[in-house]
Amino acid sequence: MPSDAIRAALIKRLRLSSAIADEDIKEIEALPISVRHYPAETAVVRDGERATDCCLIADGFCVRSKTIANGKRQILSIHIPGEIPDLMSLFLHVMDHDLSTLTPSTLGFISHETLQKLHRRSPGIAEMFWRDTLIDSAMFREWIVNVGQRPAPARLAHVMIELRERLRVIGRVDGGNFEMPLTQEQIGEALGITAVHANRVIRQLRQEGIVEFNRGRVTVLDERKFQELADFDNRYLHQSPTL
C-alpha cells in the first residue's frame, strides 16, 4: 500500500469529526511516514515502553489492552484503518498499555518530533488531533459503562454496533455483514467475561435469531432486536464537528 493512500484514509476520518482547513490538509499530505508490516497477533508497543513515534493504521485491525498481575487481560479498544491508536504517546511518552495487531497489518509511523513541530506551525491541526484524543477518551467512557452496567449479551451487541458504525465510515460494512476479527477468547477479554461465557452469549444471540458470529465475521439477523439489545447511542463517537 502506497503511503499516499494511508494519508488519504487519515484525512477522510479526521474530516468526519473536525473541520479542516485546506492548508492543513497539505501539511498532512507532506508528513513523512515510514511504513512497516506486522503479522497477526504481534505487539506494536508494549506497556512500560517509551514511544518515539505514533502509528497510523493503514490496513488491518489492532487492539489496545492491559494485563494485570494475575495474568488476566482487558481489551480497551479495537482499532481500524485510518486511526492513530497511540496518539496519546505524543505527550504520555511511557506507555501505560499495550498496542498489538489482531490481523496482519500495515502501519505508518510518524515521529513525535515531526508531529510536535507540526503543531507549533499549525494550531488548527493540533486542535484536530487533540479532539481526536478526546474522542478516544469518550469511547473509553462508554466502554466502562458497557463493562460495568450491561448484561453480557448487551455488552457484546454494543461492542459490535460500535465497531460497525466506525467501519461504515470507511466503507467496510456490507449490508448486515462486517468484519470483527476476534477469537472468542478475545471477545471475552473485551467484555470482561471468560471465553466460555463469551461462547454461551454468542450461542444465545444466535439461537434468539439476533446476530450470527462466525470466524471473525458478524452477520446481523434481526436489526431491530440487535439495536434494542445493544442500547446504542452514537453521540459519544462525536462523529460530526458540531461546534
Query: What residues line the site for DNA (CB under 7 A)?
Result: 41, 151-152, 183-185, 188, 192-197, 199-203, 214-216
| Cα–Cα distance measured from residue 166 to residue 163, given in angstroms and rounded to the nearest whole number | 5
Give Cα 79 distance to the centre of its chain. Answer: 2
Q: What is the DSSP string of 9-62?
A: HHHHHHHHHS---HHHHHHHHT---EEEEE-SS-EEE-TTPBP-EEEEEEES-E
Site string for its own copies, 168-207 (x = CB under 8 A): -----------------------xx---------------
Residue closer to DNA (CB basis): 214 or 242? 214
Of 1-40, binders to its own copies (CB under 8 A) are none
**127 makes contact with its own copies (CB under 8 A):** yes
Pick one of its own copies, DNA, none as the site partner of residue 109 (Cβ within 5 to 8 A by kind).
Answer: none
Nearer to its own copies, 45 or 88 (CB): 88
Q: Which residues contact 49 (CB under 8 A, 6 or more apart)?
A: 94, 95
**CA 214 – CA 216 distance, rounded (Å):** 6
Tallying the residues shown for the chain, one arrives at: 243
Instruction: Tell me which stretch binds its own copies (CB under 8 A): 6-14, 101-109, 173-181, 229-237.
Output: 229-237
Q: Is 46 in the site for its own copies (CB under 8 A)?
A: no
Number of residues that bind its own copies (CB under 8 A): 48
- CA-to-CA distance for 226 and 50, rounded, in angstroms? 41
Residue with smaller CB distance to its own copies, 68 or 171: 68
165 by Cβ neighbours in 10 Å (0-12 / 13-18 / 19+) ranks as middle
Distance between CA atoms of residues 79 and 71, nearest Å: 23
| Contact call for residue 242 and its own copies (CB under 8 A) | yes
Residue 218 interacts with its own copies (CB under 8 A)?
A: no
Per DSSP, helices labelled H in the chain are 3-17, 22-29, 112-121, 123-149, 152-169, 184-191, 195-207, 223-230
- Cα gap 159→20, rounded to integer Å: 29
Residue 226 engages its own copies in binding (rule: CB under 8 A): no
Q: Which does 183 bind (CB under 5 to 8 A by kind): its own copies, DNA, none?
A: DNA
Beta carbon nearer to its own copies, 157 or 173: 157
Closest CB to its own copies among residues 109, 140: 140
Footprint on this chain of its own copies (rule: CB under 8 A): 48, 64, 66, 68-70, 72-74, 76, 88, 91-94, 96-97, 119-120, 123, 126-127, 130-131, 133-138, 140-145, 147-150, 191-192, 231, 235-236, 238, 242-243
